[in-house]
């Protein structure tokens, strides 16, 4: 048993970085396509301020659509809840995993969630009990594991401090996020190794971007170190809206292809996943970003 967990973040980290704003209905339909392709871990949205991130507006309606577990056997929903206000919006909706979001640098935390790192840790510390009472798992992102868009190189010690704080407050899983796409395998592996001196590898996930073409190499490097939980984004969705064609998150299909060809079953059907990717690309009126998607498209 390889314990592989692949989390599709395209409905959240993907769509929130695209310039077009989709209706909750379109987002639900897309998530249904991902589910039909065999994806079972899906970050379906984010309860952030819709004024700041209009792409994620009405995420409640998306969560609502996936309340009936009998309709979607095996589905694990992930929702980003950046503060107590977001938690209030959940009301009596059920979410399998609630995601917290801090960073290795104050500049990024402030730009992203409007709090310093310490403020965010205090905020999340107070949210652990209410989230657990709701019956949700907690997954905590530490962004900027190697690079920060504002501060450049990040001191791994800062990342370890955030990680330790999350660990101590009792989150179930930590996700190390390489946010800028600038980190290469030697760098991401070095931070992961520091992390694994503190935590069991099965409680650590990795979230890589492919902006500079390093995402899959970083994923394979982390796998070699014992990491088994990876974020990916179907179609490589999530590039910068001002840079058509520029890479977003590492493409889930390229991760699946790599693992399946290595003999690790993912339970995800590549063909169906690529159909979902193409449908979304059409909706967003842009080409599918991943090399694999483009190659398969050209073949067909």
Residues of this chain that interact with a second copy (CB under 8 A) are: 181-187, 210-214, 216-217, 219-221, 240, 242-247, 251, 254, 257-258, 261-263, 287, 290-292, 294-295, 297-299
Beta carbon nearer to a second copy, 61 or 246: 246
Beta carbon nearer to a second copy, 111 or 243: 243
Q: How far is the CB of 148 from a second copy (least distance, A)?
A: 15
Beta carbon nearer to a second copy, 101 or 259: 259
Q: Pick the catalytic residue from 99, 195, 240, 293.
A: 240
Beta carbon nearer to a second copy, 11 or 181: 181
Instruction: Evaluate whether 180 touches 148 at the Cβ level (below 8 Å).
Output: yes
The closest of 209, 146, 197, 142 to 171, measured between CA atoms, is 142
Q: How far is the CB of 245 from a second copy (least distance, A)?
A: 5
Q: How far is the CB of 289 from a second copy (least distance, A)?
A: 9
Active site residue 240: yes
Q: How far is the CB of 171 from a second copy (least distance, A)?
A: 29
Q: Which two tokens stand for residue 166?
A: 């999350």
What is the rounded distance in angstroms from the CA atom of residue 297 to the CA atom of residue 300?
A: 5
The residue to which tokens 């760098």 are assigned: 187
What is the rounded distance in angstroms from the CA atom of residue 145 to the CA atom of residue 130?
A: 28
The residue to which tokens 């059907």 are assigned: 269
What is the rounded distance in angstroms from the CA atom of residue 154 to the CA atom of residue 102?
A: 14
Q: How far is the CB of 187 from a second copy (least distance, A)?
A: 6
Beta-strand runs (E) in 36-136 = 41-46, 76-80, 97-103
Q: How far is the CB of 238 from a second copy (least distance, A)?
A: 13
What is the rounded distance in angstroms from the CA atom of residue 157 to the CA atom of residue 146?
A: 11
Q: How far is the CB of 268 from a second copy (least distance, A)?
A: 15
Q: Which two tokens stand for residue 230?
A: 């990876």
CA distances from 212 to 6, 21, 28, 216 (A): 22, 26, 30, 11
Q: Which two tokens stand for residue 68?
A: 């009936």
What is the rounded distance in angstroms from the CA atom of residue 23 to the CA atom of residue 296?
A: 28
What is the rounded distance in angstroms from the CA atom of residue 113 to the CA atom of residue 134?
A: 23
CB neighbour class for 155 (10 Å; exposed up to 12, middle 13-18, buried from 19): exposed
Beta carbon nearer to a second copy, 82 or 239: 239
What is the rounded distance in angstroms from the CA atom of residue 249 to the CA atom of residue 17?
A: 10
Beta carbon nearer to a second copy, 202 or 295: 295
Positions annotated as catalytic residues are: 240
């Amino acid at each position: 048993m390889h314990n592989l967990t692949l989390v599709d973040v395209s409905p959240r980290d993907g769509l929130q970085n695209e310039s077009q704003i989709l209706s909750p209905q379109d987002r639900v339909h897309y998530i249904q396509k991902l589910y039909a392709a065999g994806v079972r871990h899906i970050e379906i949205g984010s309860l952030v301020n819709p004024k700041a991130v209009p792409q994620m507006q009405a995420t409640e309606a998306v969560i609502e659509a996936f309340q009936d577990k009998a309709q979607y056997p095996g589905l694990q929903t992930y929702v980003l809840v950046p503060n107590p206000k977001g938690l209030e919006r959940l009301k009596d909706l059920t979410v399998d995993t609630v995601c917290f979001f801090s960073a290795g640098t104050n500049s990024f935390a402030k730009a992203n969630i409007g709090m310093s790192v310490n403020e965010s840790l205090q905020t999340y510390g107070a949210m652990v009990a209410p989230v657990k009472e709701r019956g949700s798992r907690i997954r905590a992102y530490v962004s900027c594991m190697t690079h920060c868009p504002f501060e450049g190189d990040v001191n791994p010690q800062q990342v370890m401090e955030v990680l330790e704080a999350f660990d101590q407050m009792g989150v179930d899983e930590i996700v190390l996020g390489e946010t800028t796409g600038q980190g290469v395998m030697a760098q991401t592996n070095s931070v992961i190794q520091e992390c694994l001196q503190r935590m069991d590898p099965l409680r650590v996930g990795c979230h890589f971007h492919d902006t500079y073409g390093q995402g899959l190499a970083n994923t394979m490097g982390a796998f070699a170190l014992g990491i088994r939980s990876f974020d990916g984004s179907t179609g490589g969705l999530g590039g910068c809206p001002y840079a058509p064609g520029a890479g977003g998150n590492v493409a889930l299909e390229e991760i699946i292809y790599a693992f399946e060809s290595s003999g690790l079953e993912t339970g995800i059907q590549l063909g169906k996943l690529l159909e979902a990717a193409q449908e979304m690309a059409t909706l967003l009126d842009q080409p599918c970003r991943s090399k694999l998607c483009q190659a398969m498209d050209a073949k067909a």
